[in-house]
Structures are given as structure tokens and as C-alpha cells.
């Protein structure tokens, strides 16, 4: 594989990883919950996105609207985060074991829902990205759809930075993350903040799943495969850091592309060798904060 093709494949993988991991990091940063359902939300977004676009096509909708339809489908699928958060609300402030068990229970429930609604067979929107054609730069060409997904991830990164650092809501979110009791004393509605943050994190995960479905099959194995890479990104970048999610996704995306191209049997090991290396040198990640 040419170097440019390899780099572009890495950027596409990193873009999807960033969308999912940014949601996970956002939720942990505010609510201090390690959301194991991130992979399940990703898979749900993929299945739901495929079904919505199939319905849209059956109604005579043009294939050129693939990208916006999938984004809308992902946003709609993310509304399931409302139900998940209402249940998780019962374990806020309790021992971390309760939180992990609750989110793992959701993983199992999502798995059964996916199997019941869509069956055990993988689903794929085959060849649809080709409607956008290819982008040519000199002697190199790459799919325009993949470039659009990368652009979407960069846009989301910019919007998250603007939301958290430049808006009143972002200031409240940061205050809640730093000191919940003080934020409540100053009048912040932390219950509403929890809901808004969890919904935003869920929608990022489901949009990531919806956007990836034209390039890979939706399957029941998606949650586990994704969560392995997602938590590698979290460890490398630092738990709770959006900047860490961005850099960690780039590192894992590049490692995965290199491994699949040259050493397929080392795909998972190569990622976790870097994870071990980071844990040894900087246990709280590249942008994480050391525990007090």
C-alpha cells in the first residue's frame, strides 16, 4: 500500500475513533463514569444508520444524500442516551463497581436488542461511498466520502473546543467537572448538565457508528472490537481529556493501519504495546491529570 493511501486510511480510522472516544471522555470528565456502553452505542448507530438509509432509498431518496442522512440517523439513534442516563442516574456517586456493572449490563442488553431487531447476519451499505467519487491530488486518489468523514471529525473537534472553552454552558460543564458541590452551591443544575453531557456523548458515539457503516459491515462483534481500540485511545490520551482523545485516536489509527498493511497478526498487540509503554512512562496518559 502506498504511503499516502496508508496515511489516509489511518486518518479515517482515527476520525471515527475520535468521535466515539470524545463522547466517552466527555462523559467521564463530568460524571466520572467509565461508560462501557460506548461500543454498543457505536454499533447501534451503525445498524440504525443502515436501516434509515435503506428506508430513505426505498422512498426514492438520492444516494448523494448518504452523508447527511447518516448524520441525522446517528443523531436520532443517540437519543437512546436519554434512557441510559436515567438508569445510570441511580448509581451516581456510588462505588465505581456499581457503575461498571450497570454499564456492562447495558452492553449485554444492547447486544440482545441488536440481535432481536436486526438478526445475527452482518449488514452493509455496499459501494454507496462511490457516489461521491474520488479526490485526486497529483498521482494519488482517495475516496471523497472518507475525506468528508475526516472533515466531520475535525469540525466536531473544533465545536467541542468552542463549546467547552468559549460558551457559558461550557464554563458550567467545566465547573461541574472540577467541583460538583461548588457548582451546585453557585446555582448550577448538575442533574440537567449530566443529562446534556451524556446525551452529547451518546450522539457522538452513534454518529461515529452511522458514518462508518458504508465502509464496513455492521455486526454483533462491533461493540467489543471498538471498545478495545477506544480504551487504548483513552489510556494513551488520558482519561477525561478531549485533546487526549484527538491525539490518542491519531496514534491508534496509524498503528492499526500500519499493522493491517504489514503485520496483520500484530494488529491488537501493536496497539497495546504502545499502551503499556505509555502506562510505564506516564500512567495517567499524555494529557491526563495525575491523581491527587
Q: Please classify residue 39 by burial: count the beta carbons closer than 10 Å to its beta carbon, then call 0-12 exposed, 13-18 middle and 19+ buried.
A: buried
- Percent of the chain whose predicted confidence (pLDDT) is above 70: 97
Residue 247, CA distances (Å) to 109, 233, 286 in order: 32, 8, 9
Residue 274, CA distances (Å) to 15, 63, 212, 265, 269 in order: 19, 40, 25, 16, 9
d(CA 92, CA 269) in angstroms, rounded, equals: 34
Least confident of 3-12, 44-53, 113-122, 159-168: 3-12
Compute CA 174 distance to the chain's CA centroid, rounded to the nearest angstrom: 21
In tens, the pLDDT along 2-15 reads 667 778 888 999 99
DSSP 4: H
Look at 282 and 92; give whichever has higher pLDDT: 282
At 292, the pLDDT band (50, 70, 90 cuts) reads very low
3-state secondary structure of 143: strand
Least confident of 67-76, 186-195, 257-266: 257-266
What's phi and psi for 137, nearest 5 deg? -130, 100
3-state secondary structure of 62: coil
Quote the pLDDT of residue 290.
59
Quick check: 273 pLDDT over 90?
no
> What is the arithmetic mean of pLDDT over 254-265?
81
Amino acid at each position: 500500500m502506498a504511503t499516502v493511501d496508508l496515511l489516509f486510511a489511518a486518518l479515517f480510522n482515527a476520525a471515527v475513533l475520535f468521535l466515539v472516544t470524545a463522547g466517552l471522555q466527555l462523559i467521564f470528565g463530568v460524571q466520572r463514569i467509565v461508560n462501557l456502553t460506548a461500543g454498543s452505542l457505536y454499533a447501534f448507530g451503525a445498524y440504525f444508520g443502515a436501516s434509515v438509509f435503506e428506508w430513505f432509498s426505498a422512498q426514492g431518496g438520492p444516494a448523494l444524500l448518504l452523508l447527511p442522512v447518516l448524520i441525522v440517523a446517528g443523531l436520532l439513534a443517540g437519543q437512546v442516551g436519554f434512557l441510559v442516563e436515567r438508569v445510570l442516574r441511580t448509581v451516581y456517586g456510588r462505588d465505581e463497581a456499581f457503575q461498571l456493572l450497570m454499564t456492562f449490563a447495558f452492553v449485554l442488553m444492547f447486544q440482545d436488542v441488536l440481535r432481536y431487531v436486526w438478526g445475527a447476519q452482518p449488514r452493509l451499505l455496499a459501494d454507496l461511498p462511490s457516489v461521491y467519487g474520488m479526490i485526486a491530488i497529483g498521482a494519488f486518489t482517495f475516496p471523497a466520502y472518507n475525506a468528508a468523514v475526516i472533515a466531520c471529525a475535525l469540525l466536531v473537534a473544533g465545536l467541542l473546543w468552542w463549546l467547552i472553552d468559549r460558551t457559558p454552558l461550557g464554563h458550567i460543564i467545566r465547573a461541574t467537572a472540577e467541583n460538583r458541590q461548588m457548582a451546585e452551591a453557585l446555582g448550577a443544575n448538575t442533574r440537567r448538565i449530566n443529562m446534556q453531557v451524556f446525551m452529547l456523548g451518546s450522539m457522538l458515539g452513534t454518529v461515529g457508528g452511522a458514518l462508518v457503516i458504508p465502509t464496513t459491515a455492521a455486526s454483533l462483534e462491533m461493540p467489543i472490537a471498538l471498545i478495545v481500540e477506544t480504551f487504548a485511545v483513552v489510556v494513551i490520551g488520558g482519561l477525561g481529556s478531549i485533546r487526549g482523545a484527538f491525539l490518542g485516536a491519531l496514534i491508534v489509527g496509524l498503528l492499526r493501519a500500519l499493522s493491517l498493511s504489514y503485520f496483520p497478526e500484530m494488529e491488537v498487540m501493536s496497539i497495546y504495546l504502545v499502551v503499556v509503554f505509555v502506562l510505564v512512562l506516564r500512567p495517567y496518559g499524555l494529557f491526563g491529570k495525575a491523581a491527587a
